[in-house]
Amino acid sequence: MNQVDPIRDLEEIKEMYKVLQSKSQRDYLLFKFAIHTGVKLNELLNLTVADVIASDQLIKSFWVEEHATNINIVIPEDLQQDLTEFIATEQLVTSDLLFQSNRTHKGLSRQQAYRIIHAAAEELGMVHIGLTTLRKTFAYHAYQSGISISIIQKYLGHQTTYETMKFIGISRNASKTTIALNL
């Protein structure tokens, strides 16, 4: 099995957005939602409209309740708007799957999701990109934004922070922390 990497470069993420959006809004939102939430693939492919829309018909955050952590992932405003427009355009109801096959109107399979992401990456000349890339990209950028590795570890369900660092491609040497107290 080949090792996949997170997408570290924000420009490459933006290029993936462009390529996927040129194919379909569903493909673009699948990618964008995945890298903003880090949700597991099986959960991503089984998300219903009700999972992302609050009672006031707004999308603001996404709760993840696993591994004894209660983590609230805030959905960026542009993604909230894109999701709301997509749901309206596709005339999806609360019980519908968010990411459906265009042909069967059933959930996307893992193979279909892989083909979507891999084809876009290949078009851009990106290598070592697969479905796990989505979760790795979320974790890498969460870490880079200052989220504690231990929080990311719990969120991902890893046993150790070392496992999480390895997962996102950060070496121990690259993760230096400086604490300067002046009490």
The model's pLDDT over 74-125, given as tens digits with 9 standing for 90+, comes to 888 899 899 999 999 999 999 999 999 988 889 999 999 999 999 999 999 9
Instruction: Please check whether residue 165 lies inside any domain of the structure.
Output: no
Dist CA 45 CA 22 (whole Å): 21
Instruction: Please check whether residue 136 lies inside any domain of the structure.
Output: yes
pLDDT digits (tens, 9 = 90+) for 15-37: 999 999 999 999 999 999 999 99
Q: Are 43 and 175 in contact (CB under 8 A)?
A: no
| Assigned token pair, 171 | 């070496």
Instruction: Please check whether residue 112 lies inside any domain of the structure.
Output: yes
Mean pLDDT of 44-57: 82
Matching residue, tokens 């979320």: 138
Dist CA 133 CA 137 (whole Å): 6
Dist CA 150 CA 27 (whole Å): 31
Tell me the residue ranges of DSSP E strands in the chain: 61-66, 69-74
Instruction: Please check whether residue 175 lies inside any domain of the structure.
Output: no
The confidence band for 68, taking pLDDT boundaries of 50, 70 and 90, is low
3-state secondary structure of 65: strand
Which pTM does this prediction carry? Answer: 0.89
**Containing structural domain, residue 40:** 10-146
Instruction: Please check whether residue 2 lies inside any domain of the structure.
Output: no
The CATH number linked to 27 is 1.10.443.10
* Cβ neighbours of residue 169 closer than 8 Å, sequence gap 6 or more: 5, 6, 8, 136, 140
Instruction: Please check whether residue 56 lies inside any domain of the structure.
Output: yes
Instruction: Please check whether residue 42 lies inside any domain of the structure.
Output: yes
Q: Are 88 and 80 in contact (CB under 8 A)?
A: no
Q: How many domains is the chain built from? A: 1
